Structure formats: structure tokens, C-alpha cells
């Protein structure tokens, strides 16, 4: 078991497009296991390689609840083939500690990827945490961050400011929102922490 160091915003690796994996060998399998260990240790449900400083197209997801056995999925070179519908829900990210806000995503995705054996698979996820996590992690592989998809930029800025990731006055932003409770740090359930 090897827990890797999480890269925290604004680390530049988070904005780079990850490179395709051409050979699935022992080093890729070790990276996948280390990423899973890191994700579980951090109480996340997803993790993309750039979040641990590796610019390769690999991500891991496990949306199983604490009451059921782990069901990790390793996605190598994932590609979304179809998107449909719309859903809005709260997201967090291991690269943005203590930051949570609403993000708009497609409700249904069909993704093609390779597993650790090199087999090409297709998976459909609709209206659930898996669908949201797949989109969140593929964004990481493309150098895109969930802060770019906030449904309310003021709420995003407030959360980023409270977490110390953005310079500004949290009270001032809270007043603009007209939110008396804007300064209360809310920590959502594990389901909201996608990566």
C-alpha cells in the first residue's frame, strides 16, 4: 500500500491535459493500486492521475457505500461516447479541500475505457453518483476543473475563499449572496466528494 501526495489547487499539473497510456504494464497497475489507496485514505469516491502529479490518462472510482464491499473501477484512457440529460448536484474535490458547491453535469454518460487487462469496455451510468464521478474525473484528465462548472459563481468564490484557495473577503461575498449563513462551513456527505 502506497498513499501518494495529493496535488492541491493551484498546482499547475491540474490544468494539464494528461497523456494517453500506450502500454498497460506493472507500473500502470501499481499506479492504479496506489491511486485507490490514496482515494480510500482521503475518503474520496474518485481520483485522477493528475491529482497525484502523474499526467497520464488513468482514473479510479468507487461509489460503493460504507456498508457494502468496495467496488473499485480502474479506467484507462477513458472517453465519453454519449452524454444526455442534465443533473445538478453538490460536488467536492480532493484537490480542493473543504470546497463544495453545485455543479451541472449530464445525467447520462456512456464511457469507453480499458481495464488493467487491456480489455476495452463500455459502461453506461445515468442519474447517479457514478455518472457524476466519471465526468468529474475525465475533466481532470483533460485539465478542466469543477470550479469552471459551478452553477453559481458567487457561491463557488465564497467556498474557495473560506477554504483559503482564493483571496477575498468571505463576509463581503456572503453579503452579495444575501446569505446570512454563508459563512457556515458545511461538510456534505461522502456522496458529494467526487474526487
111 is in an annotated binding site: no
How many structural domains are present in the chain?
Answer: 1
The answer to whether position 7 is within a domain reads no
140 is in an annotated binding site: yes
Q: Rg of the Cα trace of the chain?
A: 17
Q: Look-up: residue for cell 487487462? A: 117
153-162 and 170-177 helices, crossing angle to 10°:
150
89 is in an annotated binding site: no
In tens, the pLDDT along 119-175 reads 999 999 999 999 999 999 999 999 999 999 999 999 999 999 999 999 988 888 888
The answer to whether position 46 is within a domain reads yes
Q: Which of 86, 137, 159, 171 is catalytic?
A: 137
* Backbone dihedral angles phi then psi of residue 17, each to the nearest 5 degrees: -75, 130
Give the residue numbers spanning the domain of 168: 12-192
171 assigned to active site: no
User: pTM to 2 decimals?
Assistant: 0.91
Q: Which CATH number characterizes residue 152's domain? A: 3.90.45.10
Amino acid at each position: 500500500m502506497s498513499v501518494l501526495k495529493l496535488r492541491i489547487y493551484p498546482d499547475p499539473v491540474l490544468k494539464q491535459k494528461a497523456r494517453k497510456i500506450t502500454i498497460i504494464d506493472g507500473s500502470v497497475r501499481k499506479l492504479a493500486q496506489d491511486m485507490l489507496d490514496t482515494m480510500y485514505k482521503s475518503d474520496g469516491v474518485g481520483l485522477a492521475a493528475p491529482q497525484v502529479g502523474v499526467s497520464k490518462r488513468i482514473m479510479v472510482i468507487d461509489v460503493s457505500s460504507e456498508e457494502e464491499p468496495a467496488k473499485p473501477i480502474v479506467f484507462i484512457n477513458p472517453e465519453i461516447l454519449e452524454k444526455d440529460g442534465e443533473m445538478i448536484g453538490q460536488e467536492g474535490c480532493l484537490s480542493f479541500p473543504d470546497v463544495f458547491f453545485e455543479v451541472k453535469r449530464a445525467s447520462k454518460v456512456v464511457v469507453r475505457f480499458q481495464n488493467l487487462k487491456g480489455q476495452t469496455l463500455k459502461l453506461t451510468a445515468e442519474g447517479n453518483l457514478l455518472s457524476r464521478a466519471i465526468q468529474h474525473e475525465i475533466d481532470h484528465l483533460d485539465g478542466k476543473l469543477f470550479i469552471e462548472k459551478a452553477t453559481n459563481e458567487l457561491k463557488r468564490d465564497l467556498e474557495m475563499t473560506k477554504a483559503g484557495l482564493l483571496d477575498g473577503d468571505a463576509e463581503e461575498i456572503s453579503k452579495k449572496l444575501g446569505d446570512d449563513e454563508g459563512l457556515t462551513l458545511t461538510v456534505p456527505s461522502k456522496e458529494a466528494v467526487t474526487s
